[in-house]
Amino acid sequence: MKLAEFNSADATLAAETLRPCIDVTRWVDTVAGARPFASKDALLAFASQAASPFTPAEVESAMAHHPRIGERPTAGTAEASMSRSEQAGVDPADTAVAHALAQGNREYEEKFGRVFLIRAAGRTAPEILRTLNERLANSPAEEDTIVAQQLREIAVLRLEGLITE
């Protein structure tokens, strides 16, 4: 969608455009309510600021929509399509990495009670796996901070891909 279209869209359409970026109602409403934006850069900067901080409840809600790294969602939604694209660096045919990611995901979920989340776009499978293994050493409080930051990065990156000048 072009920025001019986003700026002039009714509130419902603007919210529907934003929601696949991250399903956090406060963020969606804040960004949609701040229109019009003078530029895409202004939109992205505002969206990033509006995402900081996400509350623990917002993080938990947003996490419900994220698949495990290495497991590509099959739904036909915009969010699932974005997730598949973001995980393009994880080749499911690489069975050694797929197995290591699955094992790491299980360990992470046992320790933290949620799926491992990382901004996967632009990262290779070995880099994701290395980061997963490093983050297993974190405390729950450290991980809460990292997960919220990763969600912010994902939301802004997705928005950047949705809006053109």
Select from 1.10.3330.10, 2.70.50.30, 2.40.30.160, 3.40.50.10490 the CATH code of 3-162: 1.10.3330.10
Structural tokens at position 132: 């997963």
**Mind listing the pLDDT tens digit for each residue in 18-55?**
999 999 999 999 999 999 999 999 999 999 999 998 99
Q: What is the rounded CA–CA span in Å between residue 70 and residue 125?
A: 9
Q: What is the rounded CA–CA span in Å between residue 144 and residue 59?
A: 9
Q: Is the dihedral of CA 103, 107, 113, 115 positive or negative?
A: negative
Side chain identity, residue 129: L
Structural tokens at position 144: 């809460």
Task: Please report, for the chain, the start and end positions of each structural domain, with discontinuous segments joined by +.
Answer: 3-162
Which pairs with CB-CB distance under 8 Å and at least 24 residues apart come from 137-146?
Answer: 140/112, 143/112, 144/56, 144/59
Q: What is the rounded CA–CA span in Å between residue 20 and residue 14?
A: 11
Regarding predicted confidence, which is higher, 24 or 90? 24
| Predicted confidence (pLDDT) at residue 87 exceeds the cutoff of 60 | no
CB 91 within 8 A of CB 120: no
**Mind listing the pLDDT tens digit for each residue in 54-70?**
999 999 989 887 778 77
- Neighbour-count burial for 106-123, b at 16+ CB within 10 Å, e otherwise: eebeebbebbbbbbbbeb
The pLDDT of residue 129: 95
- Neighbour-count burial for 59-85, b at 16+ CB within 10 Å, e otherwise: beebeebbbbbbbebeeeeebbebbee
Q: Return the beta strands (E) in 9-160 as ranges.
A: none
Structural tokens at position 83: 């997730």
Structural tokens at position 92: 């499911």
